[in-house]
Amino acid sequence: MTGLPSLLMALGLVGFAFGLLSLVIGLFSGVLLSSDFGWIGTNLVLGAALMLTALGLNWSTLRERMSSGEARRAGRYGSSAMLGTLVAIAILGMLGFLATHYSKKFDWTESGIHTLSDQSQKVLSGLDQDVQVLALVAKVDSEPVHALLDKYADASPRFKVEYADPNVRPGLLEKYGIQPSELGHALVRIAIGGESVKVTDLNEEKITNAIVKLSRTGQKMVYFLEGHGERPIEGEAGAARDGYARAAEALKNENYTAKTLLLASTGEVPADANVLIAAGPRRPMLPEETKALEAYLARGGALLAMVDPRVHTEFVQKLASWGVELGDDVVIDRTLALFGRAMSPFAGSYDPNHEITRGLHDPTLFHEVRSVKAGTGFTPIVFTGQESWAERNLAMLDSDGKAALDDGDLAGPVPVGAAGRPNLPADVAPPAEPAKADGANATPPKKDARLVVYGDVDFADNEFIDAYSNRNLFVNSVNWLIGDVEAISIRPAQSRASRFQLTAEQFRSIRSLSLFVLPEAIAVLGVFTWWSRRHATPR
C-alpha cells in the first residue's frame, strides 16, 4: 500500500488504536468520564472510516499482490521481525541478569529518604575503629533490615554487618545476653570496642545515634532554664504543642543529657553545664539570676537564648549589653511565608560560612519572629526573605491587623538569629566554687564564652521542630555552643508525601492531555513524518 492510501491506513490505525486503548484504560481503572465517550467514539469511528477508505482506494492493488509472490516475501519479513524481537528479549534478559549482580542505586525522592544523611556519613567517616553489627532477623523480615544496614556498609568499610536468623542460630541469643522477648521483628546489636547497644526500632536515626553514643567519650550536660515562663521539657506541659519535650529528645539523640535548672534555687549555674538554654523567658529574672548567668559566661559558658516578640524584660536588656539587640518588632513576609501567613515567615537565607548554618539548604519556619541585631563579636546567621520587613508599629498591627513597610521599619532580608562571643564587663568574675550537680566531680576546662540568640522560641517547640530545617538549626546551635563542631550536620530526612492540589477541572484537563491528546498527537506527527520521508523526491 503506497501513496495516499498508506497515509490514510496509518492514520486510521492510530485513531482506532487510541480509541480502543482509551476505552480499556477507562474500564480497568474505573475512571471513565462522560467527556471520554465523545473522544473514544470519535477515534473509533474516524479510525475505522480512514482504514476502510484506504482499503477501498487500494483494493485492486491488494488483490494483485495477494495472488503474486509478494505475500511470501511478507512472510519472510515477518519471520525476520519475529527473530529480531526474540534477540531483543534475550538482550533485555541479559541486562536484567547483569543488573541483579552489579547494581547502581539512585535516590530520586524529594527529601533523599533512601540516602544516608550528611550526619550519618560524617559519623562513619570519623570512625577510628570497626563497628561490629549483628542483625538478628528472620528471613521473612530481613529485606528492610538489609536495605538499611547495607547503606552503612557501602558507605564505610569499618561498618561490618553479620546477618543471622535467631530461629536457626538460637545460641547467639545466649552468647550476647539477648532475651527472646527483646527480638520483635528484628534486633540489631552494635558494638565498638568493648561497649555495645541494642536497637530494635530500626531506622537511620536510631542506628546513627547508637554509633555516636558508642564512639563519643564523656557526657555533655544541657540545662533548660525554668521559672520565668520558659517552655517546659517534662511532664504534660512539656508534651503539649508549645512544649519542648521533642527538643530535649533531639539533644538526647545527640548523646547529650538534658535537665531543667531553677536558677533561683541553686544560685549559680552548675559546674558541669556545657550549655544553658533559655527557651522563651517571659517574666523578669531576679538580679541575682542575671548575675549568675553573667558569671557562668565569664568562666567560659555557652548560652542559647530564644525570645519571642513583645517580650520586654531585663534579660532582653542584658542580651543587648552582651552584644545582641532584639528589635521591638515582628517580621512580616507576604511572599515567603507558611500558606501566605505573613507572620509565619521562612528563613530565606543563611550565613554560608558559619558552622551552624553552613550545611543548611532547606528553609526554617518561624512563627512570629523579631529582628536580631548583631553587635561587635557577633555574626547574623539566619535571615528572612528579600520581600520581608520588621514591622515596628505593633500598636497598629495588634489593633487593626494592618502592616506596611514604612520609613521606621527594617527592610528585609531581616536577621533573626546571631551567634558569637558575648561582650562581658571587665569586673565580672566567676564564683570561687561554682555549684555542682549531683554526681559532678570535675569542672569543665576554661574556654571562651559563646552565645546564640534567636528572635523566636516557637521554631523549636513540639509543633514546629520537625518541620523543614528547624531541628537542624536548633541542634546545630547547641553543637556549636558545646564546641562539638564535628556533630554539626543535617539529620536523617523524614519521608513526606509531595502533594499538588488540583481542581476537578484541572485534573480532567491534565488527564486528557497526558493519556490521550499528547500521545495521539505525537503518533499522528510520526505518521506524517514517516509518510513524507517515504514519498520524498530523491536527490
Cβ partners under 8 Å of residue 230, min gap 6: 224, 278, 279, 280, 281, 282
Number of structural domains in the chain: 3
| pTM to 2 decimal places | 0.60
- Decide if 95 is inside a domain: no
- Decide if 174 is inside a domain: yes
Instruction: Please report, as a single letter, which amino acid is at residue 16.
Output: F
Here the CATH number for the domain that contains residue 267 is: 3.40.50.880
Residue 131 and residue 195 in one domain:
yes
Which pLDDT score, from 0 to 100, does residue 458 have? 95
Residue 241 and residue 302 in one domain:
yes
Residue 144 and residue 202 in one domain:
yes
Q: Which of 206, 230, 245 is the last residue of a domain?
A: 206
Residue 187 and residue 246 in one domain:
no
Residue that has been written with the C-alpha cell 570512625 in this structure: 127
Residue 257 and residue 295 in one domain:
yes
Contact of 40 with 19, CB cutoff 8 Å: yes
Here the CATH number for the domain that contains residue 129 is: 3.40.30.10
Half-sphere exposure of 183 (CA within 13 A, CB side): 22
- Decide if 328 is inside a domain: yes
Residue 510: is its pLDDT beyond 80?
A: no
pLDDT band at 324 (very low <50, low <70, confident <90, very high): very high
Per-residue pLDDT reduced to its tens digit, 380-416: 999 999 999 999 999 888 888 788 888 889 998 999 9
Name the grid cell of 108: 530520586
Name the grid cell of 42: 470519535
Judge if the upstream peptide bond of residue 281 is cis by omega within 30 degrees of 0: no
Whole-angstrom Cα distance, residue 288 to residue 283? 15
- Decide if 366 is inside a domain: yes
Residue 136 and residue 260 in one domain:
no
Provide the residue range defining the domain that includes 13. Answer: 3-68+502-534
Residue 506 and residue 479 in one domain:
no
Residue 27: is its pLDDT beyond 90?
A: no
Q: Which of 183, 206, 229 is the last residue of a domain?
A: 206
What percentage of the chain exceeds 90 in pLDDT?
36
Contact of 131 with 160, CB cutoff 8 Å: yes
Residue 425 and residue 523 in one domain:
no
Per-residue pLDDT reduced to its tens digit, 93-151: 777 667 666 666 666 665 566 778 777 888 888 888 899 999 888 888 888 888 888 88
Residue 314 and residue 418 in one domain:
yes
Residue 441: is its pLDDT beyond 90?
A: no
Which pLDDT score, from 0 to 100, does residue 445 have? 47
